[in-house]
Amino acid sequence: MKKKMEKALNKQVNAEMYSSYLYLAMESYFQSISLPGCAKWMRAQVQEEMFHAMKIYDYVHERGGKMQFEAIAKPETEWDSPLVAFEHILEHEEKVTKLINDLIDVALDVRDHAAKAFLDWFITEQVEEEATVGGIVDRLRLIGDGSSGLFMLDSELAKRVFTLPVK
């Protein structure tokens, strides 16, 4: 694996670990405001982001690379409302999509076709992430200040369970 690709993938592992940490902070926030369904949804996100980090970690090692660990930034821990929290998630996932697109650009630049093929899975994953969170944001905007709608959505989000994807 070319060093430029290895360095970029190392940076992405850190970003995925940060994502997991951010979702853990959001889980705590939702627990603190008595929305256990939103908290459970966030816990599944924590697990999913850790899976993403480990998928890249394993790939780097499979290709003979080495991991270089950096500090993981401290995430925010408070939001003004569930809507603001999910808007933050959407903004964050859009940032992650850009990071994945940048990784694809590196793979193409260094002509690492194996890395490009590997990263295609993440592109598909990001489309799904943005669509899912965007739908929740849309519904929260429709709910507005209605607590019964929020509790119904919370109940729906509680049904989410992380299932380990097939590699």
| Below-70 pLDDT ranges, the chain | 167
**DSSP letter string over 70-99?**
-PPPPPP---SSHHHHHHHHHHHHHHHHHH
- pLDDT at 162 (0 to 100): 87
- pLDDT at 167 (0 to 100): 58
Residue 167 lies inside a defined structural domain of this protein: no
Number of structural domains in the chain = 1
Residue 121 lies inside a defined structural domain of this protein: yes
- pLDDT at 163 (0 to 100): 86
- pLDDT at 157 (0 to 100): 96
Residue 165 lies inside a defined structural domain of this protein: no
Where residue 112 sits, what CATH number does that domain have? 1.20.1260.10
Reported pTM? 0.92
Residue 166 lies inside a defined structural domain of this protein: no
